[in-house]
Structure formats: C-alpha cells, structure tokens
Amino acid sequence: QALAGAIESEMELPPHACAYCGIHSPSAVVKCLSCNKWFCSGRGNTSSSHIINHLVRARHKEVCLHPSSSLGETTLECYNCGTRNVFLLGFIPAKSDTVVVLLCRQPCAAMPSSKDMNWDTSRWEPLIQDRSFLPWLVSEPSEAEQMRARHLQPQVIAKLEEVWKENPTAAVEDLEKGNGVDDDPQPVLLRYDDAYQYQNVFGPLVKIEADYDRKLKESQSQDGLVVRWHFGLNSKHLANFILPKLELGDVKLAVGDEMRLRYVGEVRPHWEGVGFVIKIPNNMSDEVTIELRKGANDKGVPTDFTHPFSADYVWKATSFDRMQLAMKSFAVDEMSVSGYIYHRLLGHDVAAAPLKTPLPRRFSVPGLPELNMSQVLAVKSVLQKPLSLIQGPPGTGKTVTSATIVYHLAKLSGSQVLVCAPSNVAVDQLTEKIHRSGLKVVRLTAKSREDVESQVSFLSLHEQVRINNTNVELVKLRQLKDELGELSLQDEKKFKHLTRAAEKEILTNADVICCTCVGAGDPRLAKFKFRTVLIDESTQAAEPECMIPLVLGCKQLVLVGDHQQLGPVIMNKRAARAGLHQSLFERLVILGCAPIRLNVQYRMHPCLSEFPSNMFYEGSLQNGVTVQERLRRNVDFPWPVADSPMMFWTNLGNEEISASGTSYLNRTEAAACEKIISKFFKAGVSPSQIGIITPYEGQRSYIVSSMQTNGSHKKELYKDIEVASVDAFQGREKDYIVLSCVRSNDHQGIGFLNDPRRLNVALTRAKYGVVILGNPKVLSKHPLWHHLLLHYKERNCLVEGPLSNLQISFIQFSRPRQSYK
Amino acid sequence: SIVYSRPQEYRDPEAEADFDREFAMLMAESLESRKFERKTVFDVPLPIKKSIVAPTIAQPPGVITMSMIEDDEDEAPPPPPQKPGIMTFSLLTKKGNKQQTREIELPSDSTFAVAMKTKQEAEREE
Ligand SMILES: [Zn+2]
Ligand SMILES: [Zn+2]
Ligand SMILES: [Zn+2]
C-alpha cells in the first residue's frame, strides 16, 4: 500500500481529480462551487458517494458539472427560480415529450400542474438518490478506476473535512504527516486509584456531553411557527405549535423542558414568554404544547396572533451540574459513601462485611404478588449484602422484586430508603408498587413537572403538602395566592418558608423517598442521609448519573437492571466512545460482581422467548407461562404455524426519505402494517393491546397517517394504537407487536437496528404474538439478524405473499458480514 | 477472467448514523428555508425542436410530436443509434436567457423511461 501511495503521488493528478480519492474521469466528477474542489461519484468504503460526503460534511450545496462531461459545463440549478441548492433539486418530465427539466422541490415543484400545462410536477424526482447523484447526471466511476483510487476510511474523510475548515489547501498527505494529535478524551477505566482520578476521568466526559447537549438543544430554535392559543383551566396560556425539527429525532423534547416563545412579526410590538412543555407529539396530534409561566406581562400575550412566532429551547445545566457535584462530593466528602462502597465503586477488592440485617420470615409482601423461587432468592441475597446487582430480563417481575426488596429494607433496617431510576416513568411505576405494600412513600418531582399527571400524583411531595392542612397559616396563604394570582412580597416570603417547612416534615416522616437519579440532587434532599439506596433500571443511567443518589451517605446499594437491554442515551459520540455509555452496573459486572438473574419470564408465549433467551441470556430464561395461556384461539390471524404466534413477513419495498426529508419511511411496510392491524381488529383485538415498533420517526408518522387513510375500520381505532420507537417501549408490554424495520437498501446500513440490545427489547415486548416486517435480503447481511431470520425460517414462520394467502418464503439470505467487536 | 473486488470493510454504524443525521438535517434545513418562498406556477413552453418545426406533417396546434420517434430527427446531426437499454431524453437548461437542450441517456428501465414508454404505447393504440 505504501508503494501504491508513492507511485500515485509521483504522477500529477489533473486539477479536477476527486479531492478525496483522485478519480478524475470527467463524467464522474463534479465541482463544488463553494470551495472549488472536485469530487467523484464513487463511494469508496462509505455509504455515500464522495461528492455527497463532501457536501454534507462541509455543508456546501452547489455544484457544477465538468466541461467535458456529456452535459458540458452545467451548473445544476432550478430552471424556474435559479436556486442551486442540490438538496432541493430534482427533475420533472414534460407530459408528452421526452424532455426533462431541473426544478426545485420547494416552491417550484410544489405547485400542482393543471391539466393544460406541458409539465408534470407530480412526477418530481430528486437528483440525489441513495446518497449519490443520479447516474445519468454524474456517472459512477468504473470498477477499474475505483480499484486504482486512493482508499480513504470514513474517519480520514471526516478528519480531512475538519482540516479544510482551517486550511482549505491541505491534502490527504498533509493529514498523514500531522497525524498523532489525538484530541479524544481519556477513556473510562475499569478500576480507579481514588475518587479524584474517578472525577478526573468522568468530569471531562460529562462536560463534553453537557456542551454537546446544549449546542444541540439550542440549535433547535425555530422560526416561522404558527401558534394555536388556548386558555388552560389553571388560567395559564397554552401555546400549541408544530416543531418540524423534532422529526430529526436528535433532540428528545420532553415534558417539563423549558422553551421561550417569541412574537417576531411587524404588526404589533415584539413579545416573549417562557413556559414548560406539557405535551409532545403523539398519536393524537403532532403538536407541541407549552404552558406559559404566569408573569408580569400576562396581559401582553399576543393570543390574537397566530404567526409569525419563534421558539427557542431554554437549556438547563441542572442534571449535568448535579453529576459533577456528586463526583466532587464522592472525592472530597468522606461521609458521602461508606468505606466499603467507596472501594467497590473504584473497583478495589475489599472483603464484604455482611450487614447485620435480620432476615424476614416471609419474603412475599402484603399487597404485592407472591414471589417465585428466583425472585425469593434475589430478595434474600440482597438484604444482607452491602452491594448487589439484580438482572431482570424482560417480563421477569423486576419491579415487583424491587418493591419487595424496598419493603424489607425499610422494615428491617429501620432507616429511610432512597429509591431512584433514571426515568420518571420507571420511578412512577415503582412508586406505585411500593405504595401498595403499605409503606409511607413520597414521590419527589422536579418543580417543572408538578403539573404533569401520573398514576402517583397523590403521592407527590407538592400534592402531599397541598392536602396537608395542619398549618392554618399556610392554608390561608395558599387560598389567597390561588385567588389573587400573586402575593405581596412579604406574604410570598412567608408562604415559601412555610412550604419548605411542610415539605421537610413530610420527607422526614416517609419510609421511602422516590425520585429520578437526577432528582436525588434536589436541594430539598441536601440535608438528608440515605444509607440504603435502590436504583431501578440502573443500566439505563450513565455512571455519573448513578452517583447522584449514592453520595447522600450510601452504605447499602442495590442496582437493578439488565445490561442486555438498552443502555443510557449519550448524545455526544466522543463521550460515548470514551465509555460514558457504559453503566455502573455493567462495569461492576465486568469487575466480577455477578448479578443475580431473575430467570422466569411471565410475559411472552414460549415461542417468543426462545430466541431472546438463547441469544441474550445463555438459554437461561424459563417460561412462567404455558403455550395454552398465551394462545388466543378466538383471534383469527393467519399465523403460519397455528401454535406459534410469530412470523417474519417478507417485504421487499424500498425505503425512502420521508416527506420532510428528515427521516426514512417504507411504503410497502406501512401498507402491510395497516393490513395486519385491520386483520387484528377484525379478529376482535382492541387497539390498546397492539403496539407498532419502528425505529424511524418518518415511518412512525407515515404509518399513523396511512392507517388513517387506508384502514377499513373506524379511524378512532387506528388512532388509539401506539406507534413508537423501540426506546419508547422499553420496560413495557403489549399483547401483539408489529415491528416495521424500514431500512431496505444496498449501500447504507440498517441504522438503529444494528444494536443487539435494541433488537432484544423489540422482540420481547409481546405476550401473544409478533409480526416482523422487513427485507430478509438486506437484514441477513447482519450476523444477528441472520440468526433471527434462520430461526424464523427453521420454524416455518418466514413467509411472503398477500396476507390472505401467505406462503413459506424460500428467499435466499445474504452472506452475513463479519462482525467486529 | 479475474474478478477484483474491494474488501468489504467494517463500517462504524454510529458514524454512519451520524452521517445519516447530518444529511437529513441538511435536507430539512434546505426545505425549511424555502417554506415562505413565493409560489409561482412553472409553465414554460416546451423547447421547439427542429424536427417539430420541419413541416413534415401538419400538426393541429397544441399537439407536440414525440421527438424520440427516430424518423423525426431528420435535420439534427445523425443521431447515435438508440443503444439497447437506453432511452434518450433532452434536458432543458438555460444559458443566460436562452433555452438550450442537451441529450441525456436514461436507463430504459428507470421509472421515467418506463412511464414514458407506457404513455407512448397507449397513445399509439388510440
Ligand atoms: Zn465544497
Ligand atoms: Zn472520490
Ligand atoms: Zn425553483
């Protein structure tokens, strides 16, 4: 390879050679008009042609063809308006002649052409398809030419583009010289010398993630919004609008997030107001709703105007600050955790000092289901150990086990237990179960979420303060505040003081306090000590997040989770690569702390648990339900094998970019999806029993709308079906699951589906049946999917053809690519 | 013969997903930036081809002949014979204010070519 490189650099390449790989046949290169460099339409080892690689990475958008190409020196532009942005350009044909013309998608091709016009805008097709210019516009370099070209890895391309931003004339050779500068952060370790080293490693990673999160969220500012106004029952203004950027899926807008809304028109004075998000897009509507905070300029809210408005995300550093603070107190405060926990967290070998907690006579708890053997075993082994891990595969009763453990810990240790999970949903679920056991529970929520309804609202701290009327003065002040909307400065001070006192009293008297991991850093808990901590879903939290509840004096820690299901979401790739995506649970497992596994699953029909058990749990998962209990004879559905409610329905339709251009969709799979759902409806299955999982937002909204237009049953029924990403279904179950894979292409991967843990979650949500829609040819290239397809094939559950006449499919699988770990 | 093939190299799925996102973002931004652009109906006349001007057959006004029917192209430099699997279209472009057309070759199985052929056949049958 070194030799080839030497020969290549000796020859002078023409100026129009591809700046990446050197290919220079005139019909295969185009010039970028922003930087005057040339790029070819070969793909090298990447999923996109070099020119598209460059345009996307450099954010350049205009190109020109080579003078000796068949079209001559042509700048690609809209015939009508002259725009040169190739991401907007496509072509349309004349209705009755073999003439085509380039036109931009918006606005020129967006106008329908009437009958008497010469051109047919309805047949607009983009110039960029499958991440390359159409081959008749820029041809693909010959195989021989590609073999001879310089082979660049995608990372090198990325690096080169970075360097060009500073030094536009740099070449690949310069890059190789200057290499060795490594700006990647220090990766996480398995063991740490001390808590300072721990902080020195994780601190920068949290900072990188925080900076990235901020940039990402703040870039979500959006102009040109149209607002629908409402007046809430709590006499606050509600603004409803659609945020198109959400479809990118980059930013997960969450209930409780803060946004600033601004009126930017000319018709009245400018205005701005801040509010919390109270609704995000769902099946009912794609709108976001924010509730404006009450404030001095309430009268000035421009509710008579619908546009133009702008919205900005108001970024909060809170969660990151709390992580940093937790790591700091771990390092400097000797009382933050016990000596034993301290050393175990750092990966040191220390002898376990068994706790003197007495064991209960009965392990099952009033108000909660009876425990099975493996659950009893888990509870028993946890109570006397200062540190334990419980692994709960899907459907194995993790929450009940956790609630039972919390009950015993609270009763036996006689001190308060702090119970956390990374997400609010998980905390609410566990809170509800613990409440059923009869313990005194308080659910602490962030102030921004106090108005969010949940099944445990009555257990929340603010609600308990509200219904507690022992303090007459506080009751009076609240009434006054509710009536007037605000209090005098002095009364407000008094009101705050009394509220704080009431909160403290309720917290002090609780047996158990439940909150998110980040919530454990709430100032209202700052003075409390929690020697016993349980973290549920701990495998979904980044390590520094888990530290927040620990540094309040932890002596006994129970981590519950499943490292075979989805891990924490880390947005910044550098931080993720450095190991921030690894949970504390996982690191402890690697350090040799064996988790106690709950191994009886009560969710899935045994045929559905077989593959996940073998693939992800060494075949250890037993079935706590029988085939008979999970068969619905009265549900008439064409399962290929009557007693095995599973099928992989071959769909060879193409994926495409969604209408907004920001995501993927697959029409044939969406059509198939509607047919399956209609069949289920006909068989008497209700919408709430069905879940549709699809990894792409584009497909989600396409499925929702195509069920609306094509479904043969009542529209409301289809509306009530939950269509969401794998991530949204983690921790939950449905009777029937339809999985639409979407991706079906030759050059790009299968995106999110490539993650084994995501596949595990997708396959383990259903109790009574699973239908997978996908392209076996494409999916079988991936080793894991290859296994899955073989599994379905061997059980005669791989089918094709119309739903009314499904046939066993004999489609040839592709050879799986080697997997690298 | 010897078949060369480049080794299938490992692709980092995360990096791919990143690129996908960047690409999608660029698409979205491009579209969005044009949302409030004034809409104009696109209705330029079809380019007059020499073959149409040539008074071979009298055409009723408004009807345009198929320039691709081979014997139409009498005045143009001798057209390259239709290659198999290829259908020739003209791309209408602007040079300054002047219209010009350039020949382009589309695979005859492309959606465009197929649609055009179907249409021509349907018209012939009429
Ligand atoms: Zn450029
Ligand atoms: Zn190239
Ligand atoms: Zn245009």
Tell me whether 0.85 is exceeded by the ipTM: no
Residue B75, pLDDT above cutoff 60: no
Alpha helix (H) residue ranges in A632-733 = 667-682, 697-710, 715-719, 726-729
CA atoms within 13 A on the CB side of B94: 14
Q: Which of A98, A663, A757 is most worth mutating to test chain B (most B CB atoms within 10 A of its CB)?
A: A98
> Does A752 touch chain B if contact means CB atoms closer than 8 Å?
yes
* Model confidence band, residue B68 (pLDDT cutoffs 50, 70, 90): very low
Q: What is the identity of the amino acid at A350?
A: V
How far apart are the C-alpha atoms of A709 and A688, rounded to whole Å? 20
Residues A53-68: tens digit of each pLDDT = 999 999 899 999 999 9
Do A263 and A239 form a contact (C-beta atoms < 8 A)?
no
Distance A14 CA to ligand 2 centre (A): 13
Residue B67, pLDDT above cutoff 60: no
How far apart are the C-alpha atoms of A796 and A640, rounded to whole Å? 7
Residue B15 to residues A396, A749, A783, B22, B50: CA-CA distances in angstroms?
A: 35, 11, 19, 11, 52
Q: What integer is the mean pLDDT of A399-410?
A: 96
CB within 8 Å: B23 and A79: no
Residue A660, pLDDT above cutoff 60: no
Q: What integer is the mean pLDDT of A92-120?
A: 85
How far apart are the C-alpha atoms of B67 and A283, rounded to whole Å? 50
What residues of chain B lie within 8 A of the CB of A662, using their CB? 24-25, 27-28
Largest Cα–Cα separation, chain B: 63
Place of tokens 């593959």: A611
For residue A265, give every residue at least 6 positions away whose Cβ sits within 8 Å of its Cβ, in sequence order, or none. Answer: A305, A307, A308
* Model confidence band, residue A544 (pLDDT cutoffs 50, 70, 90): very high
CB within 8 Å: A136 and B45: no
The conformation of residue A579, written as its DSSP 8-state character, comes to I
What residues of chain B lie within 8 A of the CB of A153, using their CB? 9
Tally of helices (H runs) and strands (E runs) in chain B: 3, 2
> Does A131 touch chain B if contact means CB atoms closer than 8 Å?
yes
Q: Which residue of A has its CA nearest to B10?
A: A820
Residues A606-656: tens digit of each pLDDT = 999 999 999 899 889 999 999 999 999 899 999 999 999 999 999 877 666
What residues of chain B lie within 8 A of the CB of A101, using their CB? 44, 91-93
Residue A8, pLDDT above cutoff 50: no
CA of B103 vs chain A CAs: smallest distance (Å): 7
Q: What integer is the mean pLDDT of A385-407?
A: 95
Which has more pLDDT, B106 or A771?
A771
Give me the torsion for CA of A243, A248, A252, A255, rounded to 10°.
20
Which residues is B101 bridged to in the sheet? B92
Residues A308-361: tens digit of each pLDDT = 888 888 888 999 999 999 999 999 888 999 999 999 999 998 887 677 778 898
Q: β-pairing, A807-808 with A309-314? A: unpaired
Q: Which region among A111-115, A266-270, A749-753 has the lowest average model confidence (pLDDT)? A: A749-753
What does the pLDDT read at residue A750?
Answer: 58
Q: What integer is the mean pLDDT of A398-425?
A: 94
CB within 8 Å: A248 and B21: yes
Do A69 and A63 form a contact (C-beta atoms < 8 A)?
no
What does the pLDDT read at residue B73?
Answer: 38
Residues A251-277: tens digit of each pLDDT = 567 788 888 988 888 888 888 888 888
What residues of chain B lie within 8 A of the CB of A156, using their CB? none
Q: Which of residues 655-694 of A touch B (CB under 8 A)?
A: 657, 660-663
> Does A212 touch chain B if contact means CB atoms closer than 8 Å?
no
Token pair, residue A202, equals 């994780």
How far apart are the C-alpha atoms of A537 and A535, rounded to whole Å? 7
Buried-exposed string A721-748: b where 16+ CB fall within 10 A, e elsewhere: bbbbbbbebbbebbbbbbbbbbbbbeeb
Distance A153 CA to ligand 1 centre (A): 19
Distance A140 CA to ligand 2 centre (A): 10
Token pair, residue A664, equals 């993927």
How far apart are the C-alpha atoms of B44 and A120, rounded to whole Å? 12
Residue A270 to residues A267, A291, A305: CA-CA distances in angstroms?
A: 9, 19, 12
CA of B54 vs chain A CAs: smallest distance (Å): 17
CA of B58 vs chain A CAs: smallest distance (Å): 18
Write the burial class of residue A12 (CB in 10 Å: 0-12 exposed, 13-18 middle, 19+ buried).
exposed
Question: Nearest-5° angle of CA A409, CA A413, CA A417?
Answer: 55
For residue A798, give every residue at least 6 positions away whose Cβ sits within 8 Å of its Cβ, in sequence order, or none. Answer: A647, A648, A650, A776, A789, A792, A808, A809, A811
Q: How many contacts does A have with B, using Cβ atoms within 8 A?
A: 200
What does the pLDDT read at residue A713?
Answer: 92
**Torsional sign, CA A302, A304, A308, A309:** positive
The conformation of residue A449, written as its DSSP 8-state character, comes to G
Q: Which residue of A has its CA nearest to B9?
A: A45
CB within 8 Å: B15 and A154: yes
CA of A616 vs chain B CAs: smallest distance (Å): 20
What does the pLDDT read at residue A266?
Answer: 84
Please tell me whether residue A632 adopts helix, strand or coil conformation: coil
CA atoms within 13 A on the CB side of A678: 19
CB within 8 Å: B25 and A250: yes
Residue A506 to residues A320, A406, A511, A605, A818: CA-CA distances in angstroms?
A: 28, 19, 10, 44, 58
Residues B36-58: tens digit of each pLDDT = 777 777 878 887 654 433 333 34
Which has more pLDDT, A156 or A494?
A494
Residues lying with their CB under 5 A of ligand 2, a single-atom ion: A 18, 20-21, 23, 40, 42, 50
* Model confidence band, residue A176 (pLDDT cutoffs 50, 70, 90): low
Return the closest-CA partner of residue A277 out of A240, A230, A331, A308: A240
How far apart are the C-alpha atoms of A420 and A431, rounded to whole Å? 9
Q: What is the DSSP string of A53-117?
A: HHHHHHT---EEE-TTSTT-S-B---TTT----TTTEEEEEBSSSSEEEEEETTTGGGSPPPTT-
What does the pLDDT read at residue B14?
Answer: 67
Q: What percent of chain A has pLDDT over 90?
A: 50
What does the pLDDT read at residue A166?
Answer: 80
How far apart are the C-alpha atoms of A391 and A378, rounded to whole Å? 9
> Does A123 touch chain B if contact means CB atoms closer than 8 Å?
yes
What does the pLDDT read at residue B8?
Answer: 42
Instruction: Give the DSSP H/E element, type plus range, for residue A273.
Output: strand A271-279
